[in-house]
Each structure stands twice: as structure tokens, then as C-alpha cells.
Homo-oligomer: A and B are copies of this chain.
């Protein structure tokens, strides 16, 4: 998917909501556990109930991988369902992969070709030759970790290298990578005050922002500092939507929660 198609969808739906599919067998409603594939049954119901209000879906790959081959099958069914029934949606494999050269190409093949996601999250620690192989894929996007929303982010990301914090160095350096226009960045909402400065470094890039809601980030602050002329934001909510109810009405309640967020977002567009 081109960035332009994503922006068009955002303007049409008046939403920049990404729904995180952190689908956990221990948290899905009891009645789904009798299904042949409970993870997929849950995802399908969530997608059906929320797709009018969301522009992107982000399966958290760990939650599928933890179930081995069966989990991988649920993941494949989920992305196939998205691509078949809602090809307008932007899909993100939240995989946080990071390896070099030929190995990076293998990961890119896994997510861009085998599974046909529009984008994948990637860790920057190994540098240029761990990121550029992903950027070789046309109309696919690489979402690089910059400043994450967890406490451990302060271990290394905010350490300063000759006066420049590591996450800023990641933003600045990665902008020189080949096909850097296909880069997006993960920036945690719990650090919204950092967004102003981040926008000076990457004014045009899309930012994927986790941590609004359950993790304490404020939608208002993120919009205030993060929006650009092409919107430039995808705000993710996982638990706040998909586990808003644990009863048989889980999908309906998820739809309501997504609609609430969409309404708040519309005010900023």
C-alpha cells in the first residue's frame, strides 16, 4: 500500500486508529474457546465490529508465535481475512525483527511476501544493513523503533551520544538509509512531550504511537505535537478495545470503544 492510499483512507474514515491484535488465549471470552481456531474467531469478530472506525490492524506476532505452528496458522488466517475482505486497511506485523543482510531479507520475505503484510516493525540496534533489506520492497513500509513507551526505554534509548540521545540518532541516521521514504517510526505515547522535537527531525514520516489509554498516554497531547500536514499518525489501541468486555458482547463493546476513539480523532482532522 502506498502512503498516499493510507492518507486517503484516514481522511475518508476520519480516523487514524490502529487496532492491536494482541490476542491472548487467556483473555478471550470463554465461549470462543470451543471454536476450532479461537484466536482467529476472536480476531475476525473484532475486525468485523471495528473496521469502520479503524484504518490499520497490528497483530502482535509474539502472541501467535507462542502457540507454534497452530499460532502461525491463526496469524495467517487473520492476515488473509484482512487482505481479502478489507484490502483498504493498512496491516502491520508487530514483529520487532532485527538482523543483517540475507537474514533481514528472509524476515522481509516472511512478512511482506509469505504473509503479505503492508508493514513490519523493526529494531534498529544492528544499524543500516539490518534495515535496508526491508526497504527494498516496493510499497511496503518499515516501522523502526525509535522511542518506546516502556520503562526500559530509558536504559539505552535516551542515553546521549555526544549530546544527542540514541533515539534521535536513530531518527537522524535512518533518514539517510536507501529508500528511507518507506520508513515510519514507533514513538510511545507516554512520552508525548518528546513528539515536538521528534517532528523537527522527521517532519514528514508517519509515527506509530502505542500506549494511548491502557498505558497512560494522552490522545490530545499526541495529536497536538504529532500531527503533520499528511496526518502522519497512527495511534494504536489494543487492550482498551479488544478486551473492553470479556463477555459474549465483546465484539459489540469493542466496536463502541473504537467508535469513541474515532470520534475523538475526527476532531483533529
Binding site for B on A (CB under 8 A): 22, 24, 60, 62-63, 65-69, 71-73, 76, 94, 96-104, 106-107, 109-110, 114-115, 123-131, 145, 148, 150-157, 159-162, 166, 169-170, 173
Contact B66 A107 (CB under 8 A): yes
> Given known contacts A98-B96, A166-B166, is B103 in contact with A129 (CB within 8 Å)?
no
**Per a CB cutoff under 8 Å, which of B60, B97, B159 touches A103?**
B60
The chain B residue with its CB closest to the CB of A150 is B100
The chain B residue with its CB closest to the CB of A210 is B100
Contact A127 B156 (CB under 8 A): yes
- What's the least CB distance linking A185 to chain B, in Å? 13
The interface residues of chain B lying within 8 Å CB-to-CB of A72 are 68-69, 72
The interface residues of chain B lying within 8 Å CB-to-CB of A67 are 110, 114
**Per a CB cutoff under 8 Å, which of B102, B127, B131 touches A157?**
B127
**Per a CB cutoff under 8 Å, which of B76, B128, B155 touches A152?**
B128
The interface residues of chain B lying within 8 Å CB-to-CB of A76 are 68-69
> Given known contacts A66-B107, A114-B68, A123-B123, is B129 in contact with A156 (CB within 8 Å)?
no
The interface residues of chain B lying within 8 Å CB-to-CB of A110 are 62, 65-68, 71
- What's the least CB distance linking A260 to chain B, in Å? 24
Contact B166 A161 (CB under 8 A): yes
Contact B107 A62 (CB under 8 A): yes
> Given known contacts A103-B63, A114-B66, is B169 in contact with A159 (CB within 8 Å)?
yes
With the chains together, A101 CA to B149 CA distance in Å? 11
- What's the least CB distance linking A229 to chain B, in Å? 30
With the chains together, A148 CA to B166 CA distance in Å? 17
> Given known contacts A125-B124, A160-B161, is B151 in contact with A115 (CB within 8 Å)?
no
> Given known contacts A125-B156, A127-B157, A157-B125, is B150 in contact with A101 (CB within 8 Å)?
yes
> Given known contacts A62-B106, A69-B73, is B114 in contact with A129 (CB within 8 Å)?
no
With the chains together, A67 CA to B94 CA distance in Å? 18
**Per a CB cutoff under 8 Å, which of B24, B115, B130 touches A68?**
B115
The interface residues of chain B lying within 8 Å CB-to-CB of A63 are 103, 106
Contact B156 A159 (CB under 8 A): no
With the chains together, A63 CA to B102 CA distance in Å? 9
- What's the least CB distance linking A77 to chain B, in Å? 11
With the chains together, A98 CA to B62 CA distance in Å? 10
Contact B127 A125 (CB under 8 A): no
Contact B166 A159 (CB under 8 A): yes
Contact B126 A152 (CB under 8 A): yes
- What's the least CB distance linking A156 to chain B, in Å? 6
